[in-house]
Amino acid sequence: MKDRHPKKERTFVIIKPDGVQRSLIGEIIKRYEKIGLKLIGLKMGVATPDMIEKHYTIDTEWMRKTGEKTIANYKEKGLKPPSEDPIEITKVVLNNLKKYMTSGPVIIMVWQGAHAVGIVRKITGATEPLTSDVGTIRGDFVLDSYVMSDTDGRAVRNILHASGTVEEAEKEIALWFKEDELINYSTIQEVILYDVDLDGILE
Ligand code: GDP
Ligand code: MG
């Protein structure tokens, strides 16, 4: 990846079961498409609990980091976390995620373009819908919170997953797609986005 041009960056997105149920597939694709990113892989299916576990534990630090974050979230709100052990806490989070993410069909996608990982995260918005900025997908289309999902013992419904780093994206793409399911092609708009001289426009 180091020697690749930034326009070749790829990221991985899941439209989670609530996104599909809310009829947001078109709206979500439209937002990633309109900024100039290119869709290079797309599948629909029902995920298995095993795939969801693999997906979330690709980052070996995710269990610890998520546990620590969750404990901090409880304490910030003056609530007692169910455990002080980050790994124990994340096991509960992961179990809830398996139920949520396998509850119906999902759409999985690979998007390519300049700074694809960061751009998709920006458009997607912060993880907890309650605090996602207005104008982001999560900020505009869903109203869930950790207080509500933790109270009800379920995963927070935030419509989307999007890779957090280029490294995470590469691992996630390899987990969900075979290389021949990703299509290398050009779009006409790439000239205006990336061409250095812009010498092909005027006749
Ligand atoms: P993302 O990259 O924005 O999806 O967020 P993370 O990778 O940090 O977390 C993945 C998933 O773990 C989220 O979609 C939530 O379901 C869950 N999660 C993360 N942080 C917390 C938290 O503080 N509390 C709870 N209850 N769940 C969390
Ligand atoms: Mg993440």
Contacts of 34 (CB under 8 A, 6+ apart): none
The counts of H helices and E strands in the chain are 10, 4
Residue 82, ligand 1, Cβ within 6 A: no
Structure letter (DSSP) for residue 2: T
pLDDT of residue 2 exceeding 70 = no
Mark the residues whose beta carbon lies below 5 A from ion ligand 2. Answer: 164
**Under 8 Å between Cβ of 74 and 80:** yes
pTM: 0.95
Cβ of residue 164 lying under 6 Å from some atom of ligand 1: yes
| pLDDT of 39 over the 90 cut | yes
Q: What is the mean pLDDT of residues 187-203?
A: 93
- For residue 130, the model assigns a pLDDT of 97
What SS3 state is found at 149? helix
DSSP for 25-82, please give it: HHHHHHHHHHTT-EEEEEEEE---HHHHHHHHHSSTTHHHHHHHHHHHHHHHTTPPPS
Question: What CATH homologous superfamily does 6-46+104-194 map to?
Answer: Nucleoside diphosphate kinase-like domain (3.30.70.141)
Is 186 exposed, middle or buried (CB count within 10 Å of its CB: 0-12, 13-18, 19+)?
exposed
How far, in Å, is the centroid of ligand 1 from the Cα of 11?
A: 18
Q: Taking the domains of the chain in order of start, what are their residue ranges?
A: 6-46+104-194
Would residue 5 show up in a list of annotated catalytic residues for this protein? Answer: no
Q: Write out pLDDT tens, residues 91-136.
A: 999 999 999 999 999 999 999 999 999 999 999 999 999 999 999 9
In the prediction, which pLDDT does 3 show?
A: 63
Q: Which of 5, 55, 115, 161 is catalytic?
A: 161
Is 60 exceeded by the pLDDT of residue 1? no
- CA-closest residue to ligand 1 atom 8: 66
Q: Read off the pLDDT of residues 146-175 as tens digits, 9 standing for 90 and up.
A: 989 988 999 999 999 999 999 999 999 999
**C-alpha to C-alpha distance for 105 and 19, rounded to whole angstroms:** 10
Q: Determine whether the shortest distance from the Cβ of 163 to ligand 1 is under 6 A.
A: no
